[in-house]
Amino acid sequence: MEENLLEREILKISRMRNIGVSRDDFLRELGQRFRGLPFNTIVKKIEGLAEKGYLYMEYTGPADFFVKITPKGRQRLEEIMVEESLVFDF
């Protein structure tokens, strides 16, 4: 379930803006929600979601990037939300 939580939050943040979400946006948003989680862990998760086709990730510098959610990512986010509602709605 915790794996889905991080995945869900990354996907939710990724759809915040039409132009994409920057590395700094992720640091700010996820840093508040997952205190103590190393940023490298977050980046690896983002890269994994991009490899699955859920996110489009574009590096704009050695350590900077923008991320956009893909249609497949939007569908995955909806699936996670449904799964979580089934777990919590009993």
**How does DSSP assign 19-52, residue by residue?**
T-EEHHHHHHHHHHHSTT--HHHHHHHHHHHHHT
Q: pTM of the entire structure?
A: 0.83
Sign, CA dihedral 7-9-14-15, equals positive
Q: Which CATH number fits domain 2-88: 1.10.10.10, 3.40.50.970, 3.40.50.1980, 3.40.50.2000?
A: 1.10.10.10
pLDDT digits (tens, 9 = 90+) for 7-19: 888 888 888 777 7
Q: List, in order, residues 6 or more apart from 9 with CB less than 8 Å away.
A: 29, 30, 33, 34
Q: Which helix (H) or strand (E) holds 86?
A: helix 71-88
pLDDT digits (tens, 9 = 90+) for 15-56: 877 778 999 988 888 888 888 888 888 889 999 999 999 999
- Domain ranges in the chain are 2-88
